[in-house]
Amino acid sequence: MTKKYFGTDGIRGEVGTGSITPEFMLKLGWAAGKVFCCGDSSKVLIGKDTRISGYMFESALEARLSSAGVDVCLLGPMPTPGIAYLTRTFHAQAGIVISASHNAFQDNGIKFFSGRGEKLDDETEHRIEEQMERAEEGMSVVSSIDLGKAYRITDAAGRYIEFCKSTIPSIDFSGLTVVLDCANGATYHIAPNVFTELGAKVVSLGVSPDGLNINRDAGSTNPEKLAEKVLEVGADLGIAFDGDGDRVVMVDHTGRVVDGDELLYVIAADQKRNGRFEGGVVGTLMSNLGLEQALGRLKIPFCRANVGDRYVMAELAGRGWQLGGESSGHIICLNSTTTGDGIVSALQVVSAMILGGKTLAELTSDIQKLPQLMINVKIGTDVNARELCGSELLTSEIARIDKEFNGKGRVLLRPSGTEPLIRVMVEGEDSKLVTEYAEELAGIVRTAIS
């Protein structure tokens, strides 16, 4: 059954439009309350990133959850994976994240976690949407004695910091200089404390959120300033998170950006060396062929899921594997936590550096990525992106390019699950051909929507 509101990663859009309004959040809060209410022990956690609209939506959700008889625990600014962890440890029925991840401050969104700290399954999302349809007819309020109470969890940050540190062996980071870019987002008060308490010398960027500067020229989607700072201070490495802290990319001591594919390889190779690796690695359709080849040399199985952590997680569960992720830096380490976690993933990599006595550049030297170019083509709200990507015109062009690559490249055309974009990706051994084909295909998409 097609869902009306939930996409591949919750509900997301521009504040004040569509579903991202206070009125919609009131209905969503009431609907979620109806689904998760289970008597006196009903409890839902709410956390958010640092964008200004989070306060508005937090209040709306709190009010309607309470009116449905559910207690609300407010976490304040907290990374998405931190909310997942706390939902589990507080034995709550659900956790709600108010965030638009790596998007600019004008956007916001909602994600849910189950009581197990995992993304909601389709059935539960359908149940929430069914209740939202009933909300159109009017939202009842439980009797005063049954109203939910609201609490603020004052030690939420400290709890999550301790959890992050517990995911690696007892290792001293002393002597390590690390530059952290927190994107003026939800990790701003978490990540610097984690690395400082482990003994590293920390230089922090993007730790002064004002509600409007989240992800602005910072974080995992804009690592240029991080690379500059690593070279400026002579750091051992740099680490960049996105606005809600579930993604991470790094910079080695030479200033080179290390993406999610390479970080996945480092973690898998380290676990293999130390006898802790089981199963294989799940990537996505966007994962570089170089990752697959490098894992193959280590005799580590590899498979591809559709783009999106939901699909990576489903593939991991189906195969009983523990490690997967995306080239964007969304990495899932199921032997440490239940969802993608930028800080936990970064700690796995730094641990591999220290235990192996190698730099990040040395740990990534065995993975040779093929030239890959992705072009994002903006589309209007009136364009059916999925239909366009599957049109005869574009499928025939992709078939032609595939034939000309003759097995030495890949083409992928897909609608974004979080933004009004069509992503054109071309990968191959010849960088000139990669650029030529990507620009050609993007031009065809632009012409088709004009």
Kindly tell me the number of DSSP H helices and DSSP E strands found in the chain. Answer: 15, 18
pLDDT in tens, 315-349: 999 999 999 999 999 999 999 999 999 999 999 99
Locate 260 and state its tokens.
């999610």
Active-site residue among 101, 287, 327, 328?
Answer: 101
How much of the chain exceeds pLDDT 90, in percent? 86
Structure confidence at residue 2 (pLDDT):
81
Q: Which SS3 state, helix, strand or coil, does residue 450 take?
A: coil
Contact yes or no for 414/421 (Cβ under 8 A): no
Structure confidence at residue 179 (pLDDT):
98
Q: How confident is the model at residue 224 (pLDDT cuts 50, 70, 90)?
A: very high
pLDDT in tens, 371-412: 999 999 998 877 888 888 888 888 999 999 989 888 778 899
Structure confidence at residue 152 (pLDDT):
97
Dist CA 41 CA 146 (whole Å) = 11
DSSP string of 387-438, one letter each residue: HHHTSHHHHHHHHHHHHHHTTSEEEEEEE-SSSSEEEEEEEES-HHHHHHHH
Locate 328 and state its tokens.
């964007």
Helices (H), 178-327: 191-197, 224-233, 260-273, 289-297, 309-319
Dist CA 18 CA 315 (whole Å) = 32
Structure confidence at residue 448 (pLDDT):
86
The answer to whether the Cα torsion of 374, 379, 384, 387 is positive or negative is negative
Bridging pattern class, strands 323-325 and 302-305: unpaired
Dist CA 241 CA 220 (whole Å) = 5
Q: Tell me how far CA of residue 223 lies from CA of 203, 219, 258, 277, 431, in angstroms.
A: 15, 6, 10, 30, 22
Structure confidence at residue 167 (pLDDT):
97
Structure confidence at residue 1 (pLDDT):
65
Structure confidence at residue 142 (pLDDT):
96
Pick the CATH number of 11-154 from 3.40.50.300, 3.90.870.10, 3.40.120.10, 3.40.50.1110: 3.40.120.10
Q: Mean pLDDT across the stretch 57-67?
A: 98
Q: What is the dihedral of CA 395, 398, 399, 404, to 10 degrees?
A: 170
Structure confidence at residue 407 (pLDDT):
78
Mean per-residue pLDDT of the chain: 95
Residue 4 has what DSSP assignment? S
Structure confidence at residue 414 (pLDDT):
87
Total Cβ atoms within 10 A of residue 190 = 24
Strands ordered across the beta sheet of 248-252 = 201-205, 177-181, 237-241, 248-252, 257-258
Bridging pattern class, strands 201-205 and 177-181: parallel
pLDDT in tens, 169-188: 999 999 999 999 999 999 99
Structure confidence at residue 112 (pLDDT):
97
Is residue 237 pLDDT above 80, yes or no?
Answer: yes
Domains 11-154 and 159-363 share a fold: yes
Pick the CATH number of 159-363 from 3.40.120.10, 3.40.50.300, 3.20.20.140, 3.30.450.40: 3.40.120.10
Pick the CATH number of 372-449 from 2.120.10.30, 3.40.50.300, 3.30.310.50, 3.40.50.720: 3.30.310.50
Q: For the whole model, what pTM was predicted? A: 0.91
Contact yes or no for 347/167 (Cβ under 8 A): yes
pLDDT in tens, 269-315: 999 999 999 999 999 998 999 999 999 999 999 999 998 888 999 99
Q: How confident is the model at residue 113 (pLDDT cuts 50, 70, 90)?
A: very high
Total Cβ atoms within 10 A of residue 395 = 12
**Catalytic-residue membership of 328:** no
Total Cβ atoms within 10 A of residue 275 = 7
Residue 54's region, left for phi above 0, alpha for psi from -120 to 50, else beta, is alpha
Q: How confident is the model at residue 26 (pLDDT cuts 50, 70, 90)?
A: very high
Contact yes or no for 96/317 (Cβ under 8 A): no
Structure confidence at residue 223 (pLDDT):
97
- Residue ranges covered by each domain of the chain: 11-154, 159-363, 372-449
